[in-house]
Amino acid sequence: MPEICVVDGCEKTVAHRRGKPDKTKGFNFCSTHKSRVYLRNLTGNEENFLDLISTQFVSQKTGESISWNPNDFDTFQNTTYPFIPFKNRVKSQAKAICSKCEKQKTIASSAFQFCIACAQEEQYRGAVCQICNVVADGNIGMIKDEIYRCISCSQKMSKYNINSNQAMALGQIKNCQICNKSVDHTRRPRRKSTKGQACIDHDHKTKLVRGILCANCNNIEGYLNKIDDPEKWIANLVDYLKNPLLGVDQIYVPKLKKLRNKEEE
């Protein structure tokens, strides 16, 4: 029977090293809680040592308080690819055939012989992005620091210079803030159709994020931003639609086929 992590509520197996339980500060922890000890610089002599690990800790990157999630994934625990014995592994960062995509690439995980992209797809397979709620199904890359976030959301955070809390707040907005149509944060930007896709809107001058728009409103806003006097342009558009130069009944364009028949006669 495998040993279980000593932290209350955690049912993961104890981290092993060279076939034996890898004790940390005299305790048997899973790999997740083992990392908490080093993240918090704990010595093991604190009175509430286990409580400090099982509750909140402060992220060294952002300074935010983060709670332990009992549903945390151990790395590669849900991958369907075989574990490679130590004697058969290639060195990390070496060039080799990735076991998943079967292409010659730089290896990021020697234990499974995954390239960087495939390692991101398999490392936290089954985890849910805490920003857009997309599930890592083996085709979507997922990374984790203070939260789980897919590669797409990570790129947006970097592009718009926002932190995890700001990104999660934007992910809660389910409607375009102009036309009020529902938007989907899980739609990937590279898809052919952008219908329903949630777009992060920002000021191109100040670079500050303003909110969430649908693709159509985002494109219109971007176009209006290039016009010297957008308010006048909108007023002209409204006036044009109300009072068109030609009424519907004043002009008729016959079908091209009819024109050709007339020319033949």
With respect to residue 82, please indicate whether it lies within any of the assigned structural domains.
no
Flag the least confident range among 22-26, 207-211, 241-245, 251-255.
251-255
With respect to residue 9, please indicate whether it lies within any of the assigned structural domains.
yes
- With residue 158 as reference, give the H or E element that holds it: helix 151-160
Q: What is the mean pLDDT of residues 76-101?
A: 86
With respect to residue 129, please indicate whether it lies within any of the assigned structural domains.
no
The pLDDT tens digits of the residues spanning 174-233 come to: 999 999 999 988 866 555 556 778 899 988 888 899 999 998 899 888 888 888 888 898
With respect to residue 18, please indicate whether it lies within any of the assigned structural domains.
yes
Residue whose structure tokens are 């979507």: 140
Residue type, 254: P
What pLDDT band is residue 93 in, cutting at 50, 70 and 90? confident
With respect to residue 132, please indicate whether it lies within any of the assigned structural domains.
no
Measured between alpha carbons, how far is 12 from 32 in angstroms, rounded to an integer? Answer: 9
Measured between alpha carbons, how far is 232 from 222 in angstroms, rounded to an integer? Answer: 16
Higher pLDDT, 148 or 61: 148
Q: Where are the alpha helices (DSSP H) in 66-163?
A: 116-123, 151-160
What pLDDT band is residue 145 in, cutting at 50, 70 and 90? confident
Measured between alpha carbons, how far is 29 from 16 in angstroms, rounded to an integer? Answer: 9
With respect to residue 14, please indicate whether it lies within any of the assigned structural domains.
yes
What pLDDT band is residue 67 in, cutting at 50, 70 and 90? very low
What pLDDT band is residue 255 in, cutting at 50, 70 and 90? low
With respect to residue 84, please indicate whether it lies within any of the assigned structural domains.
no
Three-state DSSP at 6 gives coil
- Looking at the chain, the whole-number percentage of residues with pLDDT higher than 90 is 17
Domain count, the chain: 1
With respect to residue 164, please indicate whether it lies within any of the assigned structural domains.
no
Residue 5 structural domain = 1-72
Greatest alpha-carbon pair distance for the chain in Å reads 102
The pLDDT tens digits of the residues spanning 2-34 come to: 677 766 666 667 766 655 666 666 667 676 666
Residue 149, C-beta contacts closer than 8 angstroms, at least 6 positions apart: 129, 130, 131, 142, 143, 157, 164, 167
